[in-house]
Amino acid sequence: MKLHIGGEQIKEGWKILNIQKKPGVDFVGDITDLSQFLDESIEEVYASHILEHVSFLKMQNIFNEVFRILKKGGEFFISVPDLEVMTRIFLEEKEPDYKIQIMKFIYGGQIDEFDFHKCGFWEDLVLNFLKISNFKKYKRVKFFEDKFSDTSQLTYKGIALSLNIVALKE
């Protein structure tokens, strides 16, 4: 099984875990509780712009749980807003409307009760969570080819806003 956490886009071969029951959602639940999945039962986990909605205190447990449910050779696809890039853009931007857009990328669009960001990420922080969870191989990528059309591909004036990392469970 391949698991898309926080997704809504139906795609063959993938199951969706979402906090809200919506059409196409296979499992209702929260990324902070993956107990409904057996050890080493998932081939791929895709989490695009979902981790930032969770408090920093719960983050290491999430990475540990993803490692637990992944099969050996399984991949964890992580996409989060890149806090380093966005803060640099915010500080350099002069136009108020653009500053507001960047602020929404940092703190969430806040269009509903779930669209608030509680944690910011930069590459070293994500790699630290992965290392502690026993992921030994990982790489940063520009985007995820052939996965989903989502916020992992967001750009602002030609600058990629997402930090995209693929981690491999050996």
Higher pLDDT: 90 or 114? It is 90
Is the separation of the CB atoms in 129 and 52 below 8 Å? Answer: no
What residue ranges define each of the domains in the chain, with the CATH number in brackets? 2-168 (3.40.50.150)
The model's pLDDT over 107-149, given as tens digits with 9 standing for 90+, comes to: 998 888 888 999 999 999 999 999 999 999 999 999 887 788 8
Q: Is the pLDDT of residue 72 over 90?
A: yes
pTM of the model: 0.93
Terminal C-alpha separation, the chain: 18
Q: Which amino acid is at 14?
A: W
Contact, 47 vs 76, CB < 8 A? yes
Report the alpha-carbon distance of residue 156 to residue 27 in Å, rounded: 33
CA distances from 126 to 1, 37, 72, 84, 153 (A): 24, 23, 20, 13, 18
The count of residues in the chain is 170
Structure tokens at 56: 């920093």
The pLDDT of residue 68: 98
